[in-house]
Structure 1
């Protein structure tokens, strides 16, 4: 199949499909492809080869892709572009058996466009300040060594790792999401959820079908907010791909996030993945370190005000932190505050410790932040340590208030998707 745009091939059906790929790339800004430490060499090579094919340099495309073809024989997009280059160099007609594989060709075209658009245009066009972060990463507790952020629209999974200056971007991977895109709402809708999630388990390859590749990292969908909104479904994982595949099309799963086995292996090598945040957004807003620091200070003070107001046993001060829409465990705002007034009124003192505080802006919701922390509660007649999660939302008067608060636990729906040996064998929805 030749993607040459010369007179001999210009009008053939297969050539027109190839031209569609190239024109899609010409619609982008096409700067030089510079290697970046966070991007994958194979991906950069494919995008560089596509650019060379678009400019008529089939020999250059062949040379760029030769090592990739040898090291990653199942990278179908690389194979397709490489075959185009060889056919063009041979001066042969464009018709190949792949012309019959319409669905596969469309999928590869989408993969080419998504990868190229990101590498050649969107990422470089951001002009991000040094050490910029997505605004969802307000604060990660000091012992949170890694965080995952998914840009669903761009089909990217970003891995952030803690360094001397805090979290920094270290890996930037192509990822496949749900067939119908993002914003999961109900079971079977073939969408990937948007929100703040946490890794809950690590599943080894030897317990899974080959379809899931080298392993899986389940996340806690549905989370507390999903359940509050009545969202259904379960079994949302980050997993690999079949052993005879390098990558899947941008939208190919039933809701999971599928990485190449090579890239998923990188994640599985992280020693402590439990409770690692996985924040899935439609698209990302990158901000400067100064902006993150400002937001962090504001939120640490807000949590501290809540903590000291609870310790004060002053019901008016405590109540001001809870929204009229607050719900938790069968309580609404009125019944919750009545319950807390009764309990707090019986105490001689209350001491509340907050440790390991993490703060994440909730994507897909207007002005919502999730606080996750260890709470050490002490009073004259009771003591308890727990992992707590709060959902804060900006009210109509501009004040931030809590709309959900509760101890961290896994929902029955989520547990259905984790194949522990003590349970019946269960797989993800994908």
Structure 2
């Protein structure tokens, strides 16, 4: 008897192995766990699923269009049809079915291939989270996954994971209205309740501070990049389906804002080609950046202008500036008597750009007021570290 081609691709993973992964899903992903369990039963040679089971699934999740696709596939398989639903539809309808199959395939792949392979690994861009922050978000674009990490000392632990959609035109936002999701390091700046937004945003939105300093230096335009829910009638959108925002299921969004309510600027890294590395690798990368920052801080504290100006790349200044003017440019962001607290500083490597790093450095001044200066560091040949941009940002 043939297998049901519910994913549109041949999958050779053992069903028993798959079910063991389903048991490890987060509690808030019950829809996803139930969905993948149904798929597992449909993929067995004996089709160990009944129409009653599928009817129970769609009754529990009436907004799951994928559930109705699976019912149609089950009937097609039982009738001995070799073609799966969607191959003889009108073009627009066929695209919808293709999107649903892609979403399901991505979910399956994440829980059965990608996630197990990443056990005990961390995105290489997450070097250090400030002791003032307990949480950070990581958007893994290839896996269509928004991951919430919680800090424990210097370690980060994955506590939630949500299937997520990005811009309909993909990633790499550079122009206003290009319907792409930006790649970079951002912060959540607040919360907008759903009752003040169009219904397509679901329960609400968490705005991001796009464009950041690097975007502006790169002349990237646009704004209004949010994390938000989904319109009525949908559990999730297709992998590429927003105007550039990150969209997750409404239940997942409500779960997310139980952790992050927008009252503090929670960081988020959006990465189009993440590298997953060991904790020892993270420690090594962090130590190299910290060494450069400590040297810079020491020289700045000594107050010798020419020495600390050497830490700034020539592109940082306008060529017509003399040394006193260059010094005033730097001191506009922080006074020399401010004390740097590295433990309360965020450190990242910039996604998609080799040798570019971001340091959100927290200082305390003589009045005991704290402030944050964001620096962009680049590692040139050897151990030659330079600051290419710097800006004081809200704490």
CA 1:141/1:93 → structure 2, altered by over 3 Å: closer, same or farther? closer
| 1:311–1:261 Cα change, 3 Å | same
Partner residue in 2 for 1:314: 304
Cα 1:68/1:332, change in 2 over 3 Å: farther
Shift of 1:228: 0.3
Deviation per CA, 1:121-142: give whole Å up to 9, x if none: 222234x3x3x32111100101
1:304 paired residue number:
294
Q: 1:222 aligned to 2:214?
A: no
> Is residue 373–residue 393 contact of structure 2 (8 Å, CA) maintained in 1?
yes
1:401 paired to 2:386: yes
Tell me the distance in 1 between the aligned counterparts of 2:329 and 2:244: 43
Q: Secondary structure at the match of 1:150?
A: strand
In the other structure, the counterpart of 2:346 is 358
Give the match's secondary structure for 1:84: helix
Q: Which residue of 1 aligns with 2:229?
A: 240
Pair 1:183–1:317, CA change in 2 (3 A): same
In the alignment, the residues of structure 2 paired with residue 242 and residue 217 of structure 1 have an alpha-carbon distance, to the nearest angstrom, of 16
Q: Which residue of 1 aligns with 2:158?
A: 169
1:109 equivalenced with 2:94 (yes/no): no
TM-score between the two structures when normalised by the length of structure 1: 0.79
Instruction: Give how far 1:372 is off.
Output: 0.8
Q: Is the CA contact 2:129–2:347 (under 8 Å) kept in the aligned structure 1? A: yes
CA 1:276/1:62 → structure 2, altered by over 3 Å: closer, same or farther? Answer: farther
Per-residue deviation, 1:160: 0.6
Matches within 5 A, 1:125-274: 125-126=117-118, 128=119, 130=120, 132-163=121-152, 166-270=155-259, 273=262, 274=264
Question: Secondary structure of the equivalent of 1:269?
Answer: helix
How many aligned positions are there? 382
Mapped to 2, the partners of 1:120 and 1:343 lie a distance apart of 52
Deviation of residue 384 (structure 1)?
A: 7.2
Q: Secondary structure at the match of 1:389?
A: strand
Structure 2, gaps ≥5 residues long: none
Check whether the contact 1:154–1:283 (CA below 8 A) recurs between aligned residues: no
Deviation string, structure 1 residues 241-261 (Cα, Å, up to 9, x no partner): 012210000001110010000
Distance 1:239 1:293, change over 3 A: same
Residue 284 of structure 2: aligned partner:
294
**Structure 2 equivalent of residue 421 of structure 1:** none
Q: Distance in 1 between matches of 2:363 and 2:321?
A: 22
Aligned partners of 2:198, 2:72: CA distance in 1, in Å? 31
| 1:160-213 C-alpha deviation (Å, 9 max, x unpaired) | 112366321011111000111111111111110000000011011111111100
- Cα distance in 1 between the residues matched to 2:104 and 2:161: 16
- Per the alignment, do residues 93 and 25 of structure 1 end up closer, same or farther by CA in structure 2, a change over 3 Å counting? closer
Please provide the CA RMSD for this pair.
3.2
- Residue 88 of structure 1: CA displacement? 4.4
Q: Name the CA shift for 1:91/1:184 in 2 (closer, same or farther; >3 Å).
A: same
Provide the rounded CA distance (Å) in 1 between the counterparts of 2:139 and 2:34.
23
Aligned-residue offset at 1:289: 1.6
Farther off after superposition, 23-32 or 187-196: 23-32
Structure 1: gaps (5+ residues): 7-17, 411-430
CA distance in 1, matches of 2:50, 2:306: 69
- CA deviation profile, 1:252-304 (whole Å, cap 9, x unmatched): 11100100001111111125533111100013211112222232333333222
**Greater displacement, 332-341 / 365-374:** 332-341
From 350, 358, 365, the counterpart of 1:370: 358
Q: Secondary structure at the match of 1:296?
A: helix
Normalised TM-score (structure 2): 0.85
SS in 2 for 1:60: coil
Q: 1:147 to 1:233 in 2, by over 3 A?
A: same
